[in-house]
Amino acid sequence: MRIIAASLFAATAFSAPAAAQDMADAEIRTECLNQRLCVLFGPGGNVAVHHGQDGNVMIDDKYAPLAPKLLTAMREVSDAPLEFVINTHYHGDHTGGNEQMTVAGGKVLAHENVRARIEAELAEEDAAGEGSAEGWMKLPVITFDSSVDLYWNGEQIDIVHVHHAHTDGDAIVWLRGSKVVHMGDTYFKDATWPYIDLAAGGSIDGVIAAVRGVLDGIGEDWTVIPGHGPIATHADLHAYHDMLVAIRAGVAEGVAAGESLEAVQARDLTAPYEVGEGFITRAKFIEAVYKSLRGETDYSPR
């Protein structure tokens, strides 16, 4: 299996310094999957816009500095008002635009753990004297526990929580009529090695379960939107699943044998897969899997 890196992702994903970069030259590229659903690519997570007579639904909203460009790109797709924003998880490259989307009229919807984690970040900013009176507008105003369904623009949009996957607040967004699923960062395609945020409740087993669950729920005619990277197919996602399972098995053997992290990394379990280093290197991915299997959470992606 060959997976080629996307250079833009490596420079921009996740990190606070990246989010603070001047993105004046950043471009938003639009790819429409059908007459009511388009994907907006650029720095940060992939954004989907579902449009129609009921108004626009946005899935994720990238970094805060990109919000004006994101709104412009949305309005080029549809001049209908923004009604809802769905956050697939809490990371800033997927929720950074929440405040400006709220100002634009969007009601932010996310798993309850997303709201809790953004609240904690806002509290830290306030304690450091860096908060603002408008900070509350970053928060989801609609939350759910296991799932919530949105019937909008003639589409059944099912938003389903997956437990302890990329984080503890991930949501898979199913657009049933369109046969499209947005997976957030439970799936990276042609971008980087997987990022499992152990400190935020992520786990390798949860990621595998999330991917397996999507595979079980779609056919070969479905389209998959990853959190980062180009549009994918059922076959692409299946290859990703098989890679995760194979590498987990290899790391588990080392853990069972009492091998050190360094010894497991030295076995080069990632060699069969050509994935760009991106934001997460081979070594850091193996570290995340190793620590996840040992129940450890002291992991930094850098």
Q: What is the DSSP letter of 220?
A: T
Report the relative pairing of strands 107-111 and 142-144 from DSSP bridges: parallel
Q: Which residues, including other chains, have CB under 8 Å from residue 126's CB and lie 6 or more apart? A: 135
Rounded Cα distance, 109 and 88, in Å = 9
Q: Which pTM value belongs to this model?
A: 0.92
Tens-place pLDDT, residues 258-277: 999 999 999 999 999 988 77
Phi, psi of 38 (to 5 degrees): -130, 155
Q: Torsion-angle region of residue 253: left (phi > 0), alpha (psi -120 to 50) or beta?
A: alpha
Rounded Cα distance, 67 and 103, in Å = 11
**CA 251, 257, 263, 269: dihedral to nearest 10 degrees?**
-30
Tens-place pLDDT, residues 104-136: 999 999 999 999 999 999 999 888 888 787 888
Rounded Cα distance, 241 and 100, in Å = 35
pLDDT of the chain, 302 residues: tens digit per residue: 333 333 334 334 444 334 445 688 899 999 999 999 999 999 999 999 999 999 999 999 999 999 999 999 999 999 999 999 999 999 999 999 999 999 999 999 999 999 999 999 999 988 888 878 788 899 999 999 999 999 999 999 999 999 999 999 999 999 999 999 999 999 999 889 999 999 999 999 999 999 999 999 999 999 999 999 999 999 999 999 999 999 999 999 999 999 999 999 999 999 999 887 788 999 999 999 999 999 999 999 98
Listed as own residue / partner, the contacts of 28-33 with beta carbons closer than 8 Å and 24 or more positions apart are: 28/66, 28/69, 28/70, 28/72, 28/73, 30/73, 30/76, 30/77, 31/231, 32/77, 33/178, 33/180, 33/223, 33/231
